[in-house]
Homo-oligomer: A and B are copies of this chain.
Amino acid sequence: MGRVEAKVGAMHNATSPSNKVPRTERGRRTLAKLLEAAAAEFGERGYHEASITGITQRAGAALGSFYTYFDSKEQVFRALVSHMGHLTRKWIAERVESAPNRIVAERIGLEAFIEFVRAHKDLYRIVMEAQFVAEDAYRDYYAVFEEAYRRNLAVAGERGEIRPGHDEVRAWALIGMNVFLGLRYGVWDDSLSAAEVAAAAGDFMAFGLTPAPKAR
């Protein structure tokens, strides 16, 4: 399961304000342990079942130490959601950059996404649950993906790599496909390889449902 770097605690954007930044080495270690523990606790038990006690016990810290670094239960959760966004994009971007065109990139991106989800089931659950715990963080998470998809589709469109179309709607269609295939084949069931799923879905993304015209 993915290590949650202490870096998360140092972010200072709109969705995860003011986690106190530790000033000593000891503090940084404690913060890192707490973040990792929080990811595990939320991932395994879900936001509401998770308890601060559970987090501090996993971290080997005292209950009160949690509040040295976080203002509330919800705040760590938000930090984790935001962290997950960065991790996911980094992972996928690294694998997709060598793709020769957008259509191949989508297949590779899906394969990478499924692999990522399998390697971070706990963190992925946190992202999905954000819809009900911190809806704005959830929307932000997908807004960034939407933006990236639209840009990618627009560029590919100009290059003639893809069919013209409604990029915003196609962006969300692609996001939905990725998320549900990630849930079904990444979280729920490992029996198909990521490559197999990506190949099957890649054909669909490339050619849709319309049959190839008859050879004559």
Contacts and interface: CB of A to CB of B under 8 A. Distances in A.
A61 interface: no
A166 B108 CA distance: 18
Could you say how many copies of this chain the assembly holds? Answer: 2
Interface stretch (A24-32, A69-77, A85-93, A195-203): A195-203
A205 interface: yes
A131 to B, nearest CB: 7
Interface residues of A, number: 46
Nearest to A179: B176
Interface of A: 46-48, 102-103, 106, 128-129, 131-132, 139, 156, 160-163, 165-166, 169-170, 172-173, 175-181, 184-185, 188, 192, 197, 200-201, 203-212
7 contacts: A163-B209, A163-B210, A163-B211, A169-B204, A173-B177, A173-B205, A208-B208
